[in-house]
Chains A and B, each alone.
Chain A
Amino acid sequence: MGKAAAREIDGGGNGRTNGRGNARGEWLKRHGKWFIILPPMLYLLVFFLIPFGFALMISFADTAVRVPPFTDILSVSPDWHIHLSLNLGNFQYLVTDEVYGLSYVYSLKTAFFSTVICLLLGYPMAYAIARTSKSTQSVLLLVIILPFWTSFLLRVYALEGIIRETGLLNSALLWLGIIHQPLKIMHTTVAVYLGIIYSYLPFMVLPLFATLEKLDYTLREAAADLGSPPWRVFIDVTLPLSMPGIIAGSMLVFIPAIGEFVIPTLLGGPDNLMIGRVLWDEFFGNRDWPVASAVAIAFLVLLVGPIALYQHYSTKQLEA
Protein backbone atom coordinates (compact mmCIF):
# COMPACT_ATOMS: atom_id res chain seq x y z
CA MET A 1 0.00 0.00 0.00
CA GLY A 2 2.66 2.47 1.12
CA LYS A 3 4.78 1.65 -1.90
CA ALA A 4 2.05 2.36 -4.41
CA ALA A 5 1.26 5.69 -2.75
CA ALA A 6 4.92 6.71 -2.75
CA ARG A 7 5.22 5.91 -6.42
CA GLU A 8 2.23 8.07 -7.21
CA ILE A 9 3.71 11.01 -5.32
CA ASP A 10 6.95 10.45 -7.20
CA GLY A 11 5.06 10.53 -10.47
CA GLY A 12 3.92 14.04 -9.58
CA GLY A 13 7.35 15.05 -8.37
CA ASN A 14 8.99 14.14 -11.63
CA GLY A 15 7.29 17.07 -13.28
CA ARG A 16 9.12 19.66 -11.16
CA THR A 17 11.58 21.93 -12.88
CA ASN A 18 14.20 24.14 -11.36
CA GLY A 19 14.82 26.66 -14.11
CA ARG A 20 18.54 27.40 -14.08
CA GLY A 21 20.88 24.64 -15.25
CA ASN A 22 17.92 22.83 -16.71
CA ALA A 23 19.70 21.71 -19.85
CA ARG A 24 22.55 20.26 -17.83
CA GLY A 25 20.06 18.60 -15.50
CA GLU A 26 18.22 17.09 -18.45
CA TRP A 27 21.45 15.76 -19.91
CA LEU A 28 22.44 14.22 -16.57
CA LYS A 29 19.01 12.71 -16.14
CA ARG A 30 19.14 11.05 -19.53
CA HIS A 31 22.76 9.97 -19.61
CA GLY A 32 23.80 9.98 -15.95
CA LYS A 33 23.14 6.26 -15.63
CA TRP A 34 26.13 5.56 -17.86
CA PHE A 35 28.46 6.76 -15.09
CA ILE A 36 27.22 3.72 -13.16
CA ILE A 37 26.88 1.22 -15.98
CA LEU A 38 30.15 1.87 -17.79
CA PRO A 39 32.79 1.15 -15.10
CA PRO A 40 31.83 -2.52 -14.50
CA MET A 41 30.90 -2.99 -18.16
CA LEU A 42 34.25 -1.73 -19.49
CA TYR A 43 36.21 -3.55 -16.80
CA LEU A 44 34.65 -6.94 -17.52
CA LEU A 45 34.85 -6.30 -21.27
CA VAL A 46 38.58 -5.58 -21.17
CA PHE A 47 39.66 -8.06 -18.51
CA PHE A 48 37.19 -10.92 -18.99
CA LEU A 49 35.69 -10.97 -22.49
CA ILE A 50 38.45 -9.52 -24.71
CA PRO A 51 41.03 -12.03 -23.34
CA PHE A 52 39.04 -14.75 -25.13
CA GLY A 53 39.67 -12.83 -28.36
CA PHE A 54 43.38 -12.85 -27.62
CA ALA A 55 43.30 -16.59 -26.94
CA LEU A 56 41.49 -17.15 -30.24
CA MET A 57 44.06 -15.02 -32.06
CA ILE A 58 47.06 -16.73 -30.49
CA SER A 59 45.62 -20.17 -31.24
CA PHE A 60 46.34 -19.32 -34.90
CA ALA A 61 49.95 -18.27 -34.23
CA ASP A 62 53.22 -20.21 -34.35
CA THR A 63 55.53 -20.81 -31.43
CA ALA A 64 58.60 -18.61 -31.50
CA VAL A 65 61.70 -18.37 -29.37
CA ARG A 66 61.13 -14.87 -28.04
CA VAL A 67 59.03 -12.92 -25.54
CA PRO A 68 56.06 -13.44 -25.85
CA PRO A 69 56.65 -16.96 -27.20
CA PHE A 70 54.46 -16.79 -30.30
CA THR A 71 54.49 -15.06 -33.68
CA ASP A 72 52.35 -12.11 -34.71
CA ILE A 73 49.38 -12.89 -36.87
CA LEU A 74 49.26 -9.49 -38.48
CA SER A 75 52.49 -7.87 -39.57
CA VAL A 76 53.42 -4.93 -41.75
CA SER A 77 56.47 -5.43 -43.96
CA PRO A 78 58.88 -2.51 -44.69
CA ASP A 79 57.30 -2.07 -48.16
CA TRP A 80 53.91 -1.52 -46.52
CA HIS A 81 52.33 -4.88 -47.20
CA ILE A 82 50.09 -6.19 -44.47
CA HIS A 83 50.64 -9.88 -43.91
CA LEU A 84 48.02 -12.03 -42.27
CA SER A 85 49.36 -15.43 -41.38
CA LEU A 86 46.95 -17.90 -39.85
CA ASN A 87 48.36 -21.20 -38.71
CA LEU A 88 45.66 -23.84 -38.61
CA GLY A 89 48.26 -26.42 -37.62
CA ASN A 90 47.50 -26.09 -33.91
CA PHE A 91 43.95 -27.28 -34.38
CA GLN A 92 45.06 -30.03 -36.74
CA TYR A 93 47.54 -31.09 -34.05
CA LEU A 94 44.68 -31.36 -31.53
CA VAL A 95 42.89 -33.81 -33.80
CA THR A 96 45.93 -35.87 -34.77
CA ASP A 97 47.61 -36.13 -31.37
CA GLU A 98 45.32 -38.40 -29.47
CA VAL A 99 46.31 -37.22 -25.98
CA TYR A 100 43.91 -34.27 -26.31
CA GLY A 101 40.92 -36.30 -27.45
CA LEU A 102 41.56 -38.96 -24.81
CA SER A 103 41.98 -36.49 -21.96
CA TYR A 104 38.84 -34.65 -23.04
CA VAL A 105 36.78 -37.85 -23.06
CA TYR A 106 38.37 -38.91 -19.78
CA SER A 107 37.47 -35.54 -18.20
CA LEU A 108 33.88 -35.85 -19.43
CA LYS A 109 33.61 -39.35 -17.99
CA THR A 110 35.12 -38.42 -14.63
CA ALA A 111 32.97 -35.31 -14.30
CA PHE A 112 29.83 -37.23 -15.28
CA PHE A 113 30.23 -40.05 -12.77
CA SER A 114 31.29 -37.63 -10.00
CA THR A 115 28.17 -35.58 -10.69
CA VAL A 116 25.95 -38.67 -10.48
CA ILE A 117 27.51 -39.74 -7.17
CA CYS A 118 27.22 -36.19 -5.79
CA LEU A 119 23.56 -36.18 -6.79
CA LEU A 120 22.87 -39.54 -5.12
CA LEU A 121 24.57 -38.36 -1.95
CA GLY A 122 23.43 -34.73 -2.03
CA TYR A 123 19.75 -35.33 -2.75
CA PRO A 124 18.94 -37.15 0.52
CA MET A 125 21.05 -34.58 2.41
CA ALA A 126 19.19 -31.63 0.88
CA TYR A 127 15.89 -33.43 1.39
CA ALA A 128 16.63 -34.05 5.05
CA ILE A 129 17.63 -30.41 5.60
CA ALA A 130 14.47 -29.19 3.86
CA ARG A 131 12.32 -31.26 6.23
CA THR A 132 13.77 -29.85 9.46
CA SER A 133 12.48 -26.79 11.27
CA LYS A 134 13.43 -23.30 10.06
CA SER A 135 15.94 -22.67 12.85
CA THR A 136 17.67 -26.05 12.38
CA GLN A 137 17.75 -25.34 8.66
CA SER A 138 19.78 -22.17 8.99
CA VAL A 139 22.32 -23.90 11.23
CA LEU A 140 22.63 -26.90 8.87
CA LEU A 141 22.97 -24.60 5.86
CA LEU A 142 25.81 -22.74 7.52
CA VAL A 143 27.44 -26.10 8.26
CA ILE A 144 27.25 -26.97 4.53
CA ILE A 145 28.29 -23.50 3.32
CA LEU A 146 31.38 -23.23 5.52
CA PRO A 147 33.43 -25.84 3.60
CA PHE A 148 32.04 -24.39 0.35
CA TRP A 149 34.06 -21.23 0.99
CA THR A 150 37.05 -22.90 2.63
CA SER A 151 40.09 -23.14 0.42
CA PHE A 152 39.78 -25.76 -2.24
CA LEU A 153 43.48 -26.54 -2.22
CA LEU A 154 43.55 -26.97 1.55
CA ARG A 155 40.54 -29.28 1.54
CA VAL A 156 42.14 -31.48 -1.09
CA TYR A 157 45.28 -31.50 1.03
CA ALA A 158 43.24 -32.40 4.11
CA LEU A 159 41.68 -35.30 2.21
CA GLU A 160 45.16 -36.58 1.39
CA GLY A 161 45.76 -36.84 5.14
CA ILE A 162 42.80 -39.22 5.39
CA ILE A 163 43.34 -41.50 2.39
CA ARG A 164 47.11 -41.81 2.19
CA GLU A 165 48.69 -45.12 3.07
CA THR A 166 49.36 -44.18 6.70
CA GLY A 167 46.27 -41.97 6.91
CA LEU A 168 43.28 -42.12 9.20
CA LEU A 169 41.16 -44.36 6.96
CA ASN A 170 43.77 -47.10 6.63
CA SER A 171 44.70 -46.89 10.31
CA ALA A 172 41.06 -47.25 11.32
CA LEU A 173 40.38 -50.16 8.96
CA LEU A 174 43.56 -51.96 10.05
CA TRP A 175 42.73 -51.44 13.70
CA LEU A 176 39.22 -52.80 13.16
CA GLY A 177 40.73 -55.82 11.45
CA ILE A 178 38.70 -55.29 8.25
CA ILE A 179 41.86 -55.19 6.15
CA HIS A 180 45.31 -56.54 6.83
CA GLN A 181 47.25 -54.51 4.28
CA PRO A 182 46.82 -50.77 3.87
CA LEU A 183 44.66 -49.86 0.86
CA LYS A 184 46.40 -47.92 -1.87
CA ILE A 185 44.03 -45.05 -2.64
CA MET A 186 46.38 -42.13 -3.23
CA HIS A 187 47.42 -41.61 -6.86
CA THR A 188 44.60 -43.76 -8.21
CA THR A 189 41.35 -43.02 -10.03
CA VAL A 190 39.42 -43.66 -6.80
CA ALA A 191 41.31 -40.80 -5.14
CA VAL A 192 40.36 -38.43 -7.98
CA TYR A 193 36.67 -39.36 -7.61
CA LEU A 194 36.82 -38.99 -3.82
CA GLY A 195 38.50 -35.61 -4.24
CA ILE A 196 35.90 -34.27 -6.66
CA ILE A 197 32.96 -35.56 -4.63
CA TYR A 198 34.42 -34.23 -1.40
CA SER A 199 35.14 -30.80 -2.88
CA TYR A 200 31.94 -30.31 -4.86
CA LEU A 201 29.28 -31.88 -2.62
CA PRO A 202 28.18 -28.48 -1.17
CA PHE A 203 27.66 -27.16 -4.73
CA MET A 204 25.09 -29.92 -5.21
CA VAL A 205 23.34 -29.67 -1.84
CA LEU A 206 22.71 -25.90 -1.86
CA PRO A 207 20.64 -25.57 -5.09
CA LEU A 208 18.83 -28.84 -4.33
CA PHE A 209 17.87 -27.49 -0.93
CA ALA A 210 16.64 -24.24 -2.48
CA THR A 211 14.11 -26.06 -4.68
CA LEU A 212 13.14 -28.75 -2.15
CA GLU A 213 12.46 -26.08 0.47
CA LYS A 214 9.91 -24.35 -1.77
CA LEU A 215 8.23 -27.62 -2.72
CA ASP A 216 4.52 -27.70 -2.02
CA TYR A 217 3.98 -30.55 0.44
CA THR A 218 0.21 -30.53 0.01
CA LEU A 219 0.74 -32.06 -3.45
CA ARG A 220 2.51 -34.99 -1.84
CA GLU A 221 -0.27 -35.40 0.68
CA ALA A 222 -2.83 -35.33 -2.10
CA ALA A 223 -0.96 -38.07 -3.97
CA ALA A 224 -0.68 -40.12 -0.77
CA ASP A 225 -4.38 -39.64 0.00
CA LEU A 226 -5.23 -40.91 -3.45
CA GLY A 227 -3.42 -44.13 -2.61
CA SER A 228 0.11 -43.70 -3.98
CA PRO A 229 2.73 -45.59 -1.98
CA PRO A 230 5.59 -43.35 -0.74
CA TRP A 231 7.99 -44.37 -3.53
CA ARG A 232 5.37 -43.52 -6.17
CA VAL A 233 4.81 -40.13 -4.52
CA PHE A 234 8.54 -39.52 -4.73
CA ILE A 235 8.80 -40.54 -8.42
CA ASP A 236 5.60 -38.82 -9.56
CA VAL A 237 5.61 -35.63 -7.48
CA THR A 238 8.82 -34.82 -5.61
CA LEU A 239 11.35 -35.75 -8.27
CA PRO A 240 9.78 -33.84 -11.20
CA LEU A 241 9.19 -30.77 -9.03
CA SER A 242 12.80 -30.74 -7.86
CA MET A 243 14.15 -30.93 -11.42
CA PRO A 244 15.36 -27.27 -11.53
CA GLY A 245 17.50 -27.91 -8.44
CA ILE A 246 18.84 -31.16 -9.89
CA ILE A 247 19.85 -29.39 -13.10
CA ALA A 248 21.39 -26.40 -11.33
CA GLY A 249 23.31 -28.58 -8.87
CA SER A 250 24.54 -30.95 -11.57
CA MET A 251 25.79 -28.05 -13.70
CA LEU A 252 27.59 -26.51 -10.73
CA VAL A 253 29.42 -29.82 -10.13
CA PHE A 254 29.89 -30.97 -13.73
CA ILE A 255 31.35 -27.81 -15.31
CA PRO A 256 34.13 -27.04 -12.83
CA ALA A 257 34.87 -30.76 -12.41
CA ILE A 258 35.70 -31.10 -16.12
CA GLY A 259 38.27 -28.33 -15.98
CA GLU A 260 39.64 -29.53 -12.63
CA PHE A 261 43.39 -29.25 -12.26
CA VAL A 262 44.30 -29.39 -8.57
CA ILE A 263 42.57 -32.69 -7.75
CA PRO A 264 44.01 -34.90 -10.55
CA THR A 265 47.45 -33.36 -9.98
CA LEU A 266 47.60 -33.86 -6.22
CA LEU A 267 45.50 -37.00 -5.74
CA GLY A 268 45.64 -38.71 -9.13
CA GLY A 269 48.29 -40.88 -10.72
CA PRO A 270 50.10 -40.39 -14.03
CA ASP A 271 47.23 -41.92 -15.99
CA ASN A 272 44.58 -39.57 -14.58
CA LEU A 273 45.11 -37.11 -17.42
CA MET A 274 42.30 -34.60 -17.25
CA ILE A 275 42.09 -31.74 -19.71
CA GLY A 276 42.97 -29.14 -17.07
CA ARG A 277 46.21 -30.96 -16.34
CA VAL A 278 47.07 -31.25 -20.04
CA LEU A 279 46.49 -27.50 -20.45
CA TRP A 280 48.68 -26.71 -17.47
CA ASP A 281 51.53 -28.92 -18.74
CA GLU A 282 51.28 -27.48 -22.24
CA PHE A 283 51.60 -24.02 -20.76
CA PHE A 284 54.20 -24.38 -18.05
CA GLY A 285 55.95 -27.57 -19.17
CA ASN A 286 56.19 -27.32 -22.96
CA ARG A 287 55.64 -23.56 -23.07
CA ASP A 288 53.67 -24.10 -26.28
CA TRP A 289 51.24 -21.22 -25.89
CA PRO A 290 49.59 -21.43 -29.33
CA VAL A 291 48.68 -25.10 -28.82
CA ALA A 292 47.49 -24.38 -25.27
CA SER A 293 45.30 -21.56 -26.63
CA ALA A 294 43.91 -23.91 -29.25
CA VAL A 295 43.11 -26.49 -26.54
CA ALA A 296 41.39 -23.81 -24.45
CA ILE A 297 39.36 -22.55 -27.42
CA ALA A 298 38.36 -26.06 -28.49
CA PHE A 299 37.43 -26.93 -24.90
CA LEU A 300 35.36 -23.78 -24.63
CA VAL A 301 33.53 -24.39 -27.90
CA LEU A 302 32.90 -28.07 -27.18
CA LEU A 303 31.75 -27.57 -23.64
CA VAL A 304 30.95 -24.13 -22.36
CA GLY A 305 29.05 -22.94 -25.45
CA PRO A 306 26.37 -25.64 -25.38
CA ILE A 307 26.07 -25.42 -21.59
CA ALA A 308 25.64 -21.64 -21.67
CA LEU A 309 22.90 -22.03 -24.28
CA TYR A 310 21.27 -24.77 -22.26
CA GLN A 311 21.33 -22.65 -19.11
CA HIS A 312 19.96 -19.68 -20.99
CA TYR A 313 16.96 -21.68 -22.19
CA SER A 314 16.36 -23.47 -18.91
CA THR A 315 16.22 -20.15 -17.00
CA LYS A 316 13.85 -18.78 -19.66
CA GLN A 317 11.65 -21.83 -19.19
CA LEU A 318 11.64 -21.28 -15.45
CA GLU A 319 10.69 -17.63 -15.84
CA ALA A 320 7.82 -18.42 -18.20
Chain B
Amino acid sequence: MQDRISPFLISVLAIGIAVLYIPILVLIGYSFNASALVSVWGGFSTSWYTQLVHNQQILDAAWLSLRIGVAVSTGAVILGTFAAISLVRFPMFRGRLLLTGMVNAPLVMPEIITGITQLLLFVSMLHMLSWPHRGFTTIVIAHIAFCTAYVTITVQSRLHGADRSLEEAAMDLGSGPVRAFLDTTLPAIMPALASSWLLSFTLSLDDLVISSFVSGPGASTLPMVIFSKVKLGVSPDVNALASLIICLVGVCVLIAGYLMRRTERDRLRDAQMAER
Protein backbone atom coordinates (compact mmCIF):
# COMPACT_ATOMS: atom_id res chain seq x y z
CA MET B 1 0.00 0.00 0.00
CA GLN B 2 1.30 3.43 -0.82
CA ASP B 3 0.33 6.46 1.21
CA ARG B 4 -0.41 9.87 -0.22
CA ILE B 5 2.39 11.91 -1.79
CA SER B 6 2.87 15.09 0.20
CA PRO B 7 2.27 18.44 -1.53
CA PHE B 8 5.89 19.29 -0.74
CA LEU B 9 7.17 16.41 -2.88
CA ILE B 10 4.83 17.26 -5.74
CA SER B 11 5.92 20.88 -5.76
CA VAL B 12 9.63 20.00 -5.73
CA LEU B 13 9.05 17.60 -8.63
CA ALA B 14 7.09 20.23 -10.54
CA ILE B 15 9.72 22.91 -9.93
CA GLY B 16 12.52 20.52 -10.91
CA ILE B 17 10.86 19.60 -14.19
CA ALA B 18 10.04 23.25 -14.88
CA VAL B 19 13.69 24.19 -14.30
CA LEU B 20 14.77 21.49 -16.76
CA TYR B 21 12.37 22.56 -19.50
CA ILE B 22 11.82 26.33 -19.28
CA PRO B 23 15.22 27.32 -20.74
CA ILE B 24 14.75 24.96 -23.71
CA LEU B 25 11.20 26.17 -24.38
CA VAL B 26 12.26 29.82 -24.13
CA LEU B 27 15.10 29.11 -26.56
CA ILE B 28 12.71 27.53 -29.07
CA GLY B 29 10.27 30.44 -28.59
CA TYR B 30 12.94 33.06 -29.29
CA SER B 31 14.09 31.23 -32.43
CA PHE B 32 10.83 32.46 -34.00
CA ASN B 33 11.47 36.05 -32.94
CA ALA B 34 11.47 38.48 -35.86
CA SER B 35 13.64 40.99 -34.00
CA ALA B 36 17.41 40.72 -34.25
CA LEU B 37 17.64 41.93 -30.65
CA VAL B 38 17.47 38.81 -28.54
CA SER B 39 15.68 40.54 -25.65
CA VAL B 40 12.87 42.18 -27.60
CA TRP B 41 9.93 40.30 -29.06
CA GLY B 42 9.39 41.59 -32.60
CA GLY B 43 6.66 39.26 -33.76
CA PHE B 44 6.61 35.76 -35.23
CA SER B 45 9.03 34.95 -38.03
CA THR B 46 10.83 31.97 -39.49
CA SER B 47 13.52 34.13 -41.09
CA TRP B 48 16.30 32.74 -38.87
CA TYR B 49 15.56 29.26 -40.14
CA THR B 50 15.73 30.36 -43.77
CA GLN B 51 19.01 32.15 -43.03
CA LEU B 52 20.48 28.87 -41.75
CA VAL B 53 19.92 27.25 -45.14
CA HIS B 54 22.12 29.90 -46.73
CA ASN B 55 24.92 29.70 -44.17
CA GLN B 56 27.56 27.53 -45.87
CA GLN B 57 29.70 27.15 -42.71
CA ILE B 58 26.77 25.72 -40.75
CA LEU B 59 25.65 23.49 -43.62
CA ASP B 60 29.17 22.04 -43.97
CA ALA B 61 29.41 21.45 -40.23
CA ALA B 62 25.98 19.81 -40.13
CA TRP B 63 26.84 17.51 -43.04
CA LEU B 64 30.14 16.54 -41.34
CA SER B 65 28.39 15.89 -38.01
CA LEU B 66 25.71 13.73 -39.65
CA ARG B 67 28.28 11.65 -41.55
CA ILE B 68 30.31 11.20 -38.36
CA GLY B 69 27.16 10.28 -36.43
CA VAL B 70 26.14 7.55 -38.90
CA ALA B 71 29.64 6.06 -39.09
CA VAL B 72 30.10 6.19 -35.31
CA SER B 73 26.79 4.64 -34.34
CA THR B 74 27.16 1.83 -36.88
CA GLY B 75 30.67 1.02 -35.67
CA ALA B 76 29.74 1.35 -32.01
CA VAL B 77 26.69 -0.93 -32.34
CA ILE B 78 28.82 -3.67 -33.93
CA LEU B 79 31.67 -3.43 -31.40
CA GLY B 80 29.34 -2.90 -28.45
CA THR B 81 27.21 -5.92 -29.37
CA PHE B 82 30.35 -8.06 -29.65
CA ALA B 83 31.49 -6.79 -26.25
CA ALA B 84 28.07 -7.45 -24.71
CA ILE B 85 27.97 -11.02 -26.11
CA SER B 86 31.49 -11.61 -24.76
CA LEU B 87 30.57 -10.42 -21.29
CA VAL B 88 27.22 -12.21 -21.07
CA ARG B 89 27.88 -15.49 -22.91
CA PHE B 90 31.51 -16.24 -21.99
CA PRO B 91 31.75 -16.28 -18.21
CA MET B 92 35.47 -17.07 -18.19
CA PHE B 93 38.14 -15.79 -20.55
CA ARG B 94 41.52 -14.20 -20.24
CA GLY B 95 41.14 -10.44 -20.06
CA ARG B 96 37.48 -10.42 -19.03
CA LEU B 97 38.16 -8.00 -16.18
CA LEU B 98 40.12 -5.76 -18.55
CA LEU B 99 37.23 -5.67 -21.03
CA THR B 100 34.73 -4.92 -18.24
CA GLY B 101 36.93 -2.06 -17.06
CA MET B 102 37.43 -0.61 -20.53
CA VAL B 103 33.69 -0.76 -21.20
CA ASN B 104 32.78 1.05 -17.98
CA ALA B 105 35.62 3.55 -17.74
CA PRO B 106 34.53 5.89 -20.57
CA LEU B 107 31.24 6.46 -18.73
CA VAL B 108 32.97 8.07 -15.73
CA MET B 109 36.13 9.46 -17.34
CA PRO B 110 36.08 13.27 -17.63
CA GLU B 111 35.78 13.95 -21.36
CA ILE B 112 38.65 16.39 -21.36
CA ILE B 113 41.08 13.67 -20.26
CA THR B 114 39.83 11.16 -22.84
CA GLY B 115 40.15 13.88 -25.48
CA ILE B 116 43.71 14.84 -24.58
CA THR B 117 44.98 11.26 -24.39
CA GLN B 118 43.36 10.33 -27.71
CA LEU B 119 44.82 13.40 -29.39
CA LEU B 120 48.28 12.46 -28.13
CA LEU B 121 47.81 8.95 -29.54
CA PHE B 122 46.71 10.24 -32.95
CA VAL B 123 49.55 12.75 -33.14
CA SER B 124 52.11 10.08 -32.26
CA MET B 125 50.53 7.62 -34.71
CA LEU B 126 50.62 10.19 -37.49
CA HIS B 127 54.28 10.85 -36.70
CA MET B 128 55.20 7.14 -36.78
CA LEU B 129 52.73 5.61 -39.27
CA SER B 130 51.66 8.66 -41.31
CA TRP B 131 48.06 7.76 -40.42
CA PRO B 132 45.43 8.94 -39.41
CA HIS B 133 45.21 12.56 -40.48
CA ARG B 134 43.24 14.59 -37.97
CA GLY B 135 39.67 15.25 -39.04
CA PHE B 136 36.75 12.98 -39.95
CA THR B 137 38.68 9.72 -39.32
CA THR B 138 40.05 10.64 -35.91
CA ILE B 139 36.71 12.01 -34.68
CA VAL B 140 34.96 8.80 -35.76
CA ILE B 141 37.58 6.61 -34.05
CA ALA B 142 37.40 8.62 -30.81
CA HIS B 143 33.59 8.72 -30.70
CA ILE B 144 33.27 4.98 -31.35
CA ALA B 145 35.36 4.34 -28.23
CA PHE B 146 32.94 6.05 -25.84
CA CYS B 147 29.73 5.13 -27.70
CA THR B 148 30.73 1.45 -27.56
CA ALA B 149 30.50 1.70 -23.79
CA TYR B 150 26.86 2.89 -23.91
CA VAL B 151 25.91 0.26 -26.50
CA THR B 152 27.51 -2.54 -24.49
CA ILE B 153 25.58 -1.64 -21.36
CA THR B 154 22.23 -1.38 -23.18
CA VAL B 155 22.66 -4.63 -25.12
CA GLN B 156 24.13 -6.44 -22.13
CA SER B 157 21.00 -5.93 -20.03
CA ARG B 158 18.82 -7.15 -22.88
CA LEU B 159 20.99 -10.25 -23.46
CA HIS B 160 20.82 -11.09 -19.76
CA GLY B 161 17.05 -11.21 -20.04
CA ALA B 162 16.98 -13.09 -23.36
CA ASP B 163 15.57 -16.59 -23.27
CA ARG B 164 18.22 -19.02 -24.49
CA SER B 165 15.98 -22.04 -24.95
CA LEU B 166 15.12 -21.12 -28.56
CA GLU B 167 18.79 -20.79 -29.41
CA GLU B 168 19.54 -24.10 -27.72
CA ALA B 169 16.68 -25.74 -29.59
CA ALA B 170 18.08 -24.44 -32.90
CA MET B 171 21.46 -25.89 -32.01
CA ASP B 172 19.90 -29.24 -31.16
CA LEU B 173 18.26 -29.22 -34.59
CA GLY B 174 21.70 -28.96 -36.14
CA SER B 175 22.46 -25.22 -36.45
CA GLY B 176 25.96 -24.09 -35.61
CA PRO B 177 26.21 -21.71 -32.62
CA VAL B 178 26.61 -18.64 -34.85
CA ARG B 179 23.68 -19.60 -37.06
CA ALA B 180 21.53 -20.36 -34.03
CA PHE B 181 22.36 -16.97 -32.52
CA LEU B 182 21.64 -15.11 -35.76
CA ASP B 183 18.31 -16.90 -36.26
CA THR B 184 16.88 -16.70 -32.75
CA THR B 185 18.58 -14.30 -30.34
CA LEU B 186 19.56 -11.56 -32.78
CA PRO B 187 15.95 -10.82 -33.83
CA ALA B 188 15.01 -10.71 -30.14
CA ILE B 189 17.65 -8.10 -29.28
CA MET B 190 17.14 -6.12 -32.50
CA PRO B 191 15.10 -3.31 -30.82
CA ALA B 192 17.90 -2.89 -28.27
CA LEU B 193 20.41 -2.57 -31.12
CA ALA B 194 18.21 -0.02 -32.88
CA SER B 195 17.77 2.07 -29.75
CA SER B 196 21.48 2.00 -28.94
CA TRP B 197 22.21 3.05 -32.54
CA LEU B 198 19.98 6.10 -32.04
CA LEU B 199 21.50 6.94 -28.66
CA SER B 200 25.06 6.65 -30.05
CA PHE B 201 24.00 8.93 -32.86
CA THR B 202 22.80 11.62 -30.44
CA LEU B 203 25.91 11.25 -28.26
CA SER B 204 28.15 11.70 -31.28
CA LEU B 205 26.07 14.59 -32.62
CA ASP B 206 26.32 16.39 -29.26
CA ASP B 207 29.97 15.89 -28.44
CA LEU B 208 32.06 19.05 -28.23
CA VAL B 209 35.08 18.40 -26.02
CA ILE B 210 36.48 15.19 -27.54
CA SER B 211 35.82 16.40 -31.09
CA SER B 212 37.62 19.68 -30.42
CA PHE B 213 40.72 17.85 -29.29
CA VAL B 214 40.99 15.17 -31.97
CA SER B 215 39.77 17.23 -34.91
CA GLY B 216 42.15 18.90 -37.30
CA PRO B 217 42.12 22.08 -39.38
CA GLY B 218 39.11 22.40 -41.65
CA ALA B 219 37.00 19.78 -39.88
CA SER B 220 34.55 21.61 -37.60
CA THR B 221 31.56 19.68 -36.34
CA LEU B 222 28.26 21.36 -35.58
CA PRO B 223 28.88 21.67 -31.80
CA MET B 224 32.31 23.20 -32.52
CA VAL B 225 30.78 25.86 -34.78
CA ILE B 226 28.03 26.55 -32.24
CA PHE B 227 30.55 26.80 -29.40
CA SER B 228 32.65 29.38 -31.22
CA LYS B 229 29.50 31.40 -32.00
CA VAL B 230 28.08 31.10 -28.47
CA LYS B 231 31.32 32.35 -26.91
CA LEU B 232 30.49 35.66 -28.58
CA GLY B 233 27.04 35.76 -26.95
CA VAL B 234 23.42 34.89 -27.67
CA SER B 235 22.43 35.25 -31.31
CA PRO B 236 19.12 34.53 -33.05
CA ASP B 237 20.46 32.22 -35.77
CA VAL B 238 22.07 29.99 -33.12
CA ASN B 239 18.64 29.89 -31.44
CA ALA B 240 17.15 28.49 -34.65
CA LEU B 241 19.94 25.96 -35.14
CA ALA B 242 19.81 24.87 -31.50
CA SER B 243 16.03 24.38 -31.71
CA LEU B 244 16.44 22.17 -34.77
CA ILE B 245 19.09 20.01 -33.10
CA ILE B 246 17.08 19.72 -29.88
CA CYS B 247 14.05 18.54 -31.86
CA LEU B 248 16.11 16.02 -33.86
CA VAL B 249 17.70 14.62 -30.70
CA GLY B 250 14.33 14.60 -28.93
CA VAL B 251 12.79 12.51 -31.72
CA CYS B 252 15.75 10.07 -31.64
CA VAL B 253 15.45 9.67 -27.86
CA LEU B 254 11.67 9.21 -27.97
CA ILE B 255 11.97 6.47 -30.61
CA ALA B 256 14.80 4.83 -28.64
CA GLY B 257 12.70 5.00 -25.46
CA TYR B 258 9.73 3.47 -27.25
CA LEU B 259 11.89 0.63 -28.63
CA MET B 260 13.37 -0.05 -25.21
CA ARG B 261 9.96 -0.17 -23.58
CA ARG B 262 8.82 -2.62 -26.22
CA THR B 263 11.87 -4.83 -25.61
CA GLU B 264 11.15 -4.74 -21.91
CA ARG B 265 7.55 -5.82 -22.55
CA ASP B 266 8.74 -8.64 -24.83
CA ARG B 267 11.23 -9.74 -22.20
CA LEU B 268 8.52 -9.93 -19.54
CA ARG B 269 6.29 -11.89 -21.93
CA ASP B 270 9.19 -14.27 -22.75
CA ALA B 271 9.81 -14.77 -19.06
CA GLN B 272 6.14 -15.59 -18.48
CA MET B 273 6.11 -18.01 -21.41
CA ALA B 274 9.23 -19.72 -20.07
CA GLU B 275 7.61 -20.13 -16.67
CA ARG B 276 4.60 -21.90 -18.13
Contacts and interface: CB of A to CB of B under 8 A. Distances in A.
15 contacts: A6-B164, A7-B168, A33-B86, A41-B98, A41-B102, A44-B145, A125-B13, A149-B203, A150-B24, A162-B26, A260-B110, A276-B112, A279-B112, A293-B116, A299-B110
Contacts of B102: 41, 44-45, 48-49
User: Which 3 A-B pairs rank lowest in CB-CB distance, beginning with the nearest?
Assistant: A259-B110, A166-B39, A6-B165
A198 B20 CA distance: 7
Interface size class of A (residues with CB under 8 A): 35 or more
Contact of A154 (B112, B113, B246): B246
A151 B141 contact: no
B206 A47 contact: no
Contact of B20 (A142, A147, A296): A147
A168 B61 CA distance: 30
Contacts, number: 273
A201 B202 contact: no
B12 A304 contact: no
- Say whether chain A's binding surface is mostly helix, strand, loop, or mixed: helix
Nearest to A198: B19
A243 B39 CA distance: 45
Interface in B88-114: 89-90, 93, 95, 98-99, 102-103, 105-106, 108-114
Contacts of B127: 67-68
A29 to B, nearest CB: 8
Contacts of B13: 124-125, 128-129, 140
Contact of A153 (B23, B203, B206): B206
A221 to B, nearest CB: 8
B72 interface: no
Given A151-B246, A201-B20, A6 B79 contact: no
Nearest to B241: A154
B250 interface: yes
A255 B110 contact: yes
A60 interface: no
Contacts of A124: 8-9, 12-13
Given A10-B168, A205-B16, A283-B116, 16 more contacts: A1-B274, A2-B273, A9-B168, A9-B172, A37-B93, A40-B83, A45-B102, A54-B117, A143-B20, A145-B257, A149-B252, A150-B249, A153-B208, A158-B26, A162-B22, A168-B22
A18 to B, nearest CB: 9
Contacts of A147: 20-21, 24
A50 interface: yes
Contact of B113 (A58, A259, A311): A259
B17 interface: yes
Contacts of A299: 110, 113
